[in-house]
Structure formats: structure tokens, C-alpha cells
């Protein structure tokens, strides 16, 4: 389980260092995606995932594949200890789906 801890630390370190606090300008982003990102209850982790998906698309036109189902299952197994990672992945995967839907 050490790599879960490393993933959490990596995401948290980048977030705390302000990497995700930049003023992003997404010319390809639909407004519905932006509104969806700002209305989630776990806004910081979910928005972090949204922003990372936009950044990946803008820089590379490719996305990472995060195992949302596996993380959800493990989160239940470990009684919510992976909530931050699960919210990040949910935001990333939701935004990825919306971007791909808009561009298809």
C-alpha cells in the first residue's frame, strides 16, 4: 500500500505548492464542464482532478487512465481513507468524458 501513500503525497504536495491554483484559460473547454467542476461537494479534490484533465488535454491531447472502480472499491474496503484520491480521480474521469464527448 506504499504506492497509495506516494500518490496521495504527490497530489497533495502539488496542490499545496500552488500548482493547481493557476489561472487556466481553456479554449477547448465547454462551459458545462467548468460548472460541473465547481458544484461538487468535495470541490478542492474534485476540481483538482478537473484541472489536471484539462491540463493533460491541453498539453498532450491524451489522458491518464485512473482506475476509478478499483479506487472506489478500495475506499469502501478501507473505510473512506482514500476519499481524496477517489474525488480527484472522479473529477479527472468526469472531465475526460465530457471533453471527449464534446470533441467527438
25-46 tens-digit pLDDT: 555 544 545 555 555 444 589 9
More confident residue, 14 or 1: 14
Question: pLDDT-derived band of residue 61, with 50, 70 and 90 as boundaries?
Answer: confident
Q: Kindly report the three-state secondary structure assignment for every residue of the chain.
A: CHHHHHHHHHHHHHHHCCCCCCCCCCCCCCHHHHHHHHCCCCHHHHHHHHHHHHHHHHHHCCCCCCCHHHHHHHHHHCCCCCHHHHHHHHHHHHHHHHHHHHHC
Per-residue pLDDT, 44:
82
pTM score of the predicted model = 0.61
More confident residue, 30 or 60: 60
Amino acid at each position: 500500500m506504499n504506492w497509495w501513500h506516494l500518490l496521495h503525497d504527490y497530489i497533495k504536495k502539488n496542490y499545496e505548492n500552488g500548482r493547481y491554483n493557476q489561472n487556466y484559460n481553456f479554449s477547448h473547454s465547454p462551459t458545462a464542464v467548468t460548472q460541473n467542476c465547481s458544484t461538487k461537494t468535495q470541490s478542492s479534490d474534485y476540481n483538482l482532478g478537473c484541472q489536471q484533465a484539462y491540463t493533460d488535454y491541453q498539453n498532450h491531447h491524451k489522458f491518464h487512465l485512473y482506475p476509478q472502480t478499483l479506487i472506489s472499491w478500495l475506499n469502501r474496503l478501507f473505510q473512506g481513507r482514500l476519499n481524496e484520491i477517489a474525488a480527484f480521480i472522479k473529477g479527472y474521469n468526469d472531465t475526460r468524458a465530457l471533453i471527449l464527448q464534446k470533441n467527438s
